[in-house]
Amino acid sequence: MVKGQGTAGRFGVRYGNTLRAKVSKIEEFSRGSFKCPFCSKDKKVRREAYGIWKCRACKITFAGKAYKPF
């Protein structure tokens, strides 16, 4: 069986295994959902853009880190 490539599978054999693994880990984490620091609802914060996060429950947009909201 072949291991799943994740989001970095689009690179094929290019750029090396280590870099593809790092990209896959970062993209998987940044595309996930997080707990809102304002309303405390779980899995409601999504990434809008680089460093911009928005809660889908309380509609607050706030600045955070690039790949993590806080």
| Per-domain residue ranges of the chain | 1-31, 33-70
CA atoms within 13 A on the CB side of 23: 15
The hierarchical CATH code for the domain 33-70 is 2.20.25.30
Query: Is-above-0.85 flag for pTM?
Result: no
Tokens of 70: 């806080």
Q: According to DSSP H, which parts of the chain are helical? A: 17-30
Mind listing the pLDDT tens digit for each residue in 27-70?
988 889 999 999 999 999 999 999 999 999 999 999 999 988 88
Count CB atoms within 10 A of the CB of residue 36: 21
In this structure, are residues 24 and 5 in contact, taking their beta carbons and an 8 Å threshold?
yes
In this structure, are residues 25 and 5 in contact, taking their beta carbons and an 8 Å threshold?
no
Tokens of 61: 């947009």
pLDDT-based confidence at residue 7 (cuts at 50, 70, 90): confident
